[in-house]
Structure 1
Amino acid sequence: MKNKNLLSETLEKYWKNYANFVHSSREKISSKNIHKFRIATLKLEAVLGLVNTLKDIKHANRITDLLNKIRKNLGPLRDSQVESSLLDDIMDKKSKDKDSKSLIKFFNQDKQHAKKKAQKALENIQLKQEKSIVDEVSKAILEVEVAKNKKQIKNELDQKMKSSVLKYNFILSKIDPAQVKDIHNFRIFAKKLRYRAECLQSLEKKSRFSLKTLKKVQSVAGQIQDDTVLLKKLNQFRSLGKKNEHIHLEKTYNKIGNHRDKLIKKDFSQLQSLKWLN
């Protein structure tokens, strides 16, 4: 490691990135801003996980809890954006019948509710208070980095990553990708593992495992989750007594369902475990 104070400085960098996206998302709640903001929360949480490897700092756990709460409140908006983009791609652009319009209205109502929830969550973020906590965490971890030599730090971080890789491989071997909550949690776990690896790779100039494999997992798991979100929403719409009123909707539903089945039975089953590289 070229820079001994790698985690304290990286924590500060990720915090600034997170704070910037809080401001930009408050100014404009767009799909692009919210997507980048969610990534910023995950990256900040990922480096906090590495920080706790060197020293258990309760303040770091406080920030992690806040980040989880924020992401949870932004979840419905993320789902509504997925629904809108998928519908735009799949629905017949020429289909303007009454049922198509009622479907669009149904989706838009949920989107507006999700947007209001996201706005409230963003307004409740207290950056000054969080920044003071991050400064305390950064100071504590800097003291650890000064006290320990580079080899000690490297070994402890490697042990943390090895443990995470073993957990990842275990989950991959046991998970049922058809379970919505399980696939969502696995996807988040894979993302955080990837961001931690990218953080260390940028500082050590070497990778301990294939990031390409993790990106593939994120892609497949993400598509399964997106299809599941849309199928759930279409089921809610059909429960309103509109199931047989729009034949194209049924075709769309079946198309999404078939794509999800293929992802689960073929693509997900072909995902590889991670191999630790010395």
Structure 2
Amino acid sequence: MQESLTVIGIILIGMALRSCRKRLFRKLGALVYLLASGVIVYFLTANLLLSIASIFLWFLLPWIELGSRVRKLRLPLKNHLHEEGRPRLQHFPEAAHNIDELEALDFEHSSDYSWDWAGSSQHYSFYWHPEERAVVTICLCKQSNIAFSYLTISSRCKDGKVYRTSNFPFSPTLKNAPHVSWNQLTCRHCTLEDSLNNHRRFIQKKGTDFDALMMPDPDALNEEVENDMATQIQHNLDSGIITLSENGKFRYSFRGLCFLWRQFIKDMIRLS
């Protein structure tokens, strides 16, 4: 009975920490949950090494998904966007709020496109602003019963460099191409104006002047996305993250599965 009460007490401490607003306390709560699992194993086996190993076992769980599903994925080398109307936004309240902010900041809607990627349906709404020299993409993602949205701010230089600021909630599943600089927003709920200011500071930090940015071409935004994806895929082929498969498709190599595992661990730590 004493052992059970000890485990329950540790779990309650973890729940209390997870309910805190400060991110540091929430992360500490996740560590307390891991400690609880180790304590349970220790009480069952009286083996300290086995209890420690059981804690690290949680970090190997992503390999179940990687080995059972991701390893069998076959993705197209060339994927083309298809023009379509914007879907209803009742399942994407944050996207609707972002669109209202874009219109308030005089961003102009350009077009709507979609494609299927890795089992998920992705819809892109493109907005551009000539004076900002930036394109804001609102992405709506649907996979099985999961739906979420995020935004990406992109600016291109005359020398081919691309700067992106995004609140995409997960780590990327492919390496970025060398000419692409990625700025991950830590807060998904900051205003669009705050995100734009963050984007400008990021570009300045990289040593690029505003005058070096190109004026967006609203008629070529879908082609730019397709070309960027093709370049990214080629870079990952050269890096050994993916390898060619049959029928013009690619799959993740063992090195790529290890890369995805590291990305999973980053998300577990960052989102905890």
TM (norm. structure 1) is 0.24
When you count helix as a share of all residues, which structure comes out higher? Answer: 1
When you count strand as a share of all residues, which structure comes out higher? Answer: 2
Structure with more relative contact order (C-alpha pairs < 8 Å, separation 6 or more): 1
TM (norm. structure 2) is 0.24
